[in-house]
Each structure stands twice: as structure tokens, then as C-alpha cells.
């Protein structure tokens, strides 16, 4: 069975890109702390938006979805699930809330991982919620001809409890000894967790909950204000490609987690920079039209009202719609499509 030794990470020579990403994250963390110190109430507007986006995106990655209206009703507990997808969405909402509200009281242990999984699966009526897998699972893909093939075979059900226990112990030991930046340890742990694939269902979603949990516990609260899951969903191919490259030789201990470390660090940097942009929009003394105009100026390609709403959390949907109409009348942007297919593009001078 695969064993885990993170002491080798302290002897790694990290390339320039990873060093630059680590430096950027620590710089952005400092900026975030200043924003939170001076404008904590205003930034709370970002929290609920991030929760909705995280719940939607983490499930969407796995093909679990519902309508925007139903999603918001489920998030606010104003309706009951109509199907299995909505049960999964409500479970992720509950587990994410637990992480947000109680992360300092959730140490990384097998029992807490099982409890989070149980919460995540609690609305589905599944018998395997909160239990490690009892049958062999596989990480599969579909080829160009539509045929499914096995990319990777995780450890057996028999090996799984011990593997998770050893993995948690090694991560906690490495964090306690402090010989490597937690920002290196977190993606390494998540990569190993996904290779173990400890559950019959929900491994990807659990990995994203654990990513947020471990970032919180290491002092990086970016996931509270900007959805990391939404960032991953927008670059899903990069996410899967980095995992595939990292898992080669995993059973023999010859794998290289660097591709996934690089991917996750890049995602975190992007989220921090989104936070800075949105915090400036919230805290600035600008009219709603100025805010929408500036957001449009910084947007590349086509965009929707929802895209602008995500980046302007201080504004209502009606306000954004009104200001997009004004920008259309000014000839700054053009409106295309109809109904749910409506999108906008900037007009070139």
C-alpha cells in the first residue's frame, strides 16, 4: 500500500512560477486583511454570493445542477428538493456552512472527514453517507469515440481507512513541524486524497470542501468571499489535466504533485485578485453606473448580466440591468440574443 512522507517536500527546488505564485498569495493575503480590518461590514456582501457560487459550481463540475431560481431557493431553505440533484445541492450547502462557521473546531482527522461526508449526503437518503467505500471504484474518462476507460485505479476498500488515517497524520505532522509552506502541503494532501478516492460518491466535492477547510485553518480566508469552486469550474479541463499528470506513478510513490500544486496555487491567486477588485468596487464612492462601466471596461469578450452581478455584489440585479441599458444607449456595449440567451459585447471605437 502507498505510504506518505511529506518530509521530501522540504528538499524540493520549486520552480520560479511556483515561487512567484506563493509570493503573490502572501501579498494578496496581507491586502485582504487590511480590507477586512477597515470595511468588514461592507465585505459581508460577498459572503452569501460566494456560498451560492461555490455550491452551484462544485456540484456542476460533477454534472449535478438545477435552475438559478431553484438554487437560490434551496440556499435560503425556502423550498424542498424535488430530485436527487437538488438533494445533493442542499447537502453541499449544509457541509459548506459547517466549514464556514466552525473551521477552527474541525481538525483534519478521518472521523471529521466522515462527518462532513455524512452531512453532504444527508438529504439523499444514501446508505453510504459518512462511510468509506465498500466496493472498488475507478477514476474513468471517455475517449473520442465515446468509450469509457479507466484512467486510474485507487486503493482497495480494505486499504482505504488506513490510507486516509496515515494521510491525515502525515499532513498534521508536516503542518505542526512547519518545514514547508501550508500552501504547498494543502494541494499535495488534496491530490493524495483524490488518488485514494475514499468514497463511493462525492470524492470531488469532498476534496473541494477540504481545500476550503485547510485554507481557512492556515489563515487563508479567500474562499469565504470568492468561490474557489467557481474558479475551478471555469477551468475544469485544467483541473482534470493537472490531476492526471500528478497521479502518474502514485501507487509506487513516484508521482509528481507539482502540476496540481501549480494549478491550485494559480486558482487561489486568481481568487485573491478578484477579491481585491470587488472590494474596491464596494468601498469606492462611485455611482452605480460608474461601477458597472468600470466592470465592463475590465471584461474581455462577451458577458451576461449575471457575470456583472457576480462582480458587483453591492448592486441589485435591477440596478445592473438599468445601467447595462444606459451603456447600450451610449453605444458603449451592444445587446445580443434574447431571454436567457442574452449577452453583451463591448463596441469597438
Of the candidates 127, 109, 217, 208, the one whose C-alpha atom is nearest the C-alpha of residue 164 is 109
What pLDDT score does 204 carry? 97
Q: Give the homologous superfamily in CATH for domain 6-281.
A: Fido-like domain (1.10.3290.10)
pTM for this one? Answer: 0.88
Contact 219, 183 (CB under 8 A): no
**Are the folds of 6-281 and 286-346 the same?**
no
Contact 317, 331 (CB under 8 A): no
Q: What residues does each domain of the chain span?
A: 6-281, 286-346
C-alpha cell of residue 130? 459518512
Mean pLDDT by 10 residues, the chain (349 residues): 92 94 96 86 84 93 91 92 96 97 97 98 93 96 83 96 98 96 98 98 97 98 95 93 95 95 97 87 77 90 89 83 94 91 89
Enumerate residues 6+ apart whose C-beta is below 8 A from 265: 18, 21, 22, 25, 183, 187
- For domain 286-346, which CATH number applies: 3.40.190.10, 1.10.3720.10, 3.30.1490.190, 1.10.10.10? 1.10.10.10
Rg (CA), the chain: 21
Task: State how far the Cα of 109 lies from the Cα of 175, in Å rounded to an integer.
Answer: 13
Contact 125, 86 (CB under 8 A): no
Contact 108, 176 (CB under 8 A): no
C-alpha cell of residue 283? 468601498
Q: Euclidean distance between the first and final Cα of the chain, in Å? A: 63
The rounded Cα 72 to chain-centroid distance in angstroms is 18
Task: State how far the Cα of 221 lies from the Cα of 272, in Å rounded to an integer.
Answer: 10
C-alpha cell of residue 292? 458597472
Amino acid at each position: 500500500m502507498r505510504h506518505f512522507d511529506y518530509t521530501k517536500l522540504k528538499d524540493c527546488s520549486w520552480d520560479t512560477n511556483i515561487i512567484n505564485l506563493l509570493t503573490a498569495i502572501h501579498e494578496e493575503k496581507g491586502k485582504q486583511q487590511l480590507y477586512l480590518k477597515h470595511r468588514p461590514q461592507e465585505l459581508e456582501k460577498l459572503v452569501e454570493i460566494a456560498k451560492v457560487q461555490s455550491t452551484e459550481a462544485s456540484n456542476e463540475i460533477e454534472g449535478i445542477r438545477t435552475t438559478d431560481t431553484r438554487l437560490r431557493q434551496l440556499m435560503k431553505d425556502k423550498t424542498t428538493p424535488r430530485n436527487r440533484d437538488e438533494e445533493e445541492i442542499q447537502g453541499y450547502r449544509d457541509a459548506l456552512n459547517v466549514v464556514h462557521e466552525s473551521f477552527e473546531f474541525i481538525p483534519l482527522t478521518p472521523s471529521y472527514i466522515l462527518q462532513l461526508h455524512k452531512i453532504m449526503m444527508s438529504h439523499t437518503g444514501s446508505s453510504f453517507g459518512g462511510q468509506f467505500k465498500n466496493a472498488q471504484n475507478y477514476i474513468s474518462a471517455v475517449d473520442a469515440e465515446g468509450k469509457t476507460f479507466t484512467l486510474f485505479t485507487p486503493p482497495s476498500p480494505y486499504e482505504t481507512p488506513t490510507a486516509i488515517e496515515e494521510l491525515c497524520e502525515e499532513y498534521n505532522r508536516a503542518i505542526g513541524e512547519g518545514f514547508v509552506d501550508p500552501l504547498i502541503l494543502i494541494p499535495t494532501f488534496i491530490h493524495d486524497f483524490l488518488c485514494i478516492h475514499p468514497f463511493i460518491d462525492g470524492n470531488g466535492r469532498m476534496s473541494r470542501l477540504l481545500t476550503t477547510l485547510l485554507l481557512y485553518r492556515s489563515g487563508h480566508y479567500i474562499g469565504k468571499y470568492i468561490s474557489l469552486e467557481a474558479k475551478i469550474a471555469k477551468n475544469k479541463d485544467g483541473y482534470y489535466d493537472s490531476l492526471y499528470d500528478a497521479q502518474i506513478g502514485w501507487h509506487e510513490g513516484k508521482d509528481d504533485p507539482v502540476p496540481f500544486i501549480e494549478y491550485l496555487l494559480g486558482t487561489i491567486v486568481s481568487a485573491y485578485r478578484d477579491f481585491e477588485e470587488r472590494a474596491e468596487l464596494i468601498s469606492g464612492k462611485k455611482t452605480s453606473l460608474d461601477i458597472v462601466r468600470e466592470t465592463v471596461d475590465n471584461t474581455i469578450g462577451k458577458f451576461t448580466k449575471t457575470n456583472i452581478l457576480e462582480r458587483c455584489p453591492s448592486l441589485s440585479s435591477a440596478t445592473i440591468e438599468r445601467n447595462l441599458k444606459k451603456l447600450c444607449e451610449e453605444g458603449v456595449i451592444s445587446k445580443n440574443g434574447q431571454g436567457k440567451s442574452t449577452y453583451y459585447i463591448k463596441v469597438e471605437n
